[in-house]
Amino acid sequence: MRTVLDPTGEQQASVRELLPRPASLRGRTVGLLDISKPRGDVVLDRLEELLAAGGAVVRRYRKPTFTRTAPVDLRHEIAEQCEVVIEALAD
């Protein structure tokens, strides 16, 4: 059992089941979400290289600002286009 922390200020953490992880990312569509923190794109550029070399199809997304949640339209777009999502945070 893993504990997933949600930074939204809830009084009691919700219990959430983790989704099963794919055995491989080869051939899968992986979304890379840049939350707009400085240098997050540097991390994602390198990650994109590694994922593509391993056979993943990579799609890039960017939040307008790191201070707010991703807009609903962006979340829907990512959910419809990707099987796996990696969110980058850097400074």
Q: Give 56 or 11, the one with higher predicted confidence.
A: 56
Each residue's pLDDT tens digit, 12-59: 767 878 888 889 999 999 999 999 888 888 989 999 999 999 999 999
- DSSP calls for 60-86: EEE-S-TTSPPPHHHHHHHHHH-SEEE
Tokens 């990707």 belong to which residue?
82
pLDDT digits (tens, 9 = 90+) for 64-87: 998 888 999 999 999 999 999 998
Q: How many CB atoms lie within 10 A of CB 44?
A: 22
Spatial distance between the Cα atoms of 91 and 37, rounded to a whole number of angstroms: 6
Per-residue pLDDT, 26: 96
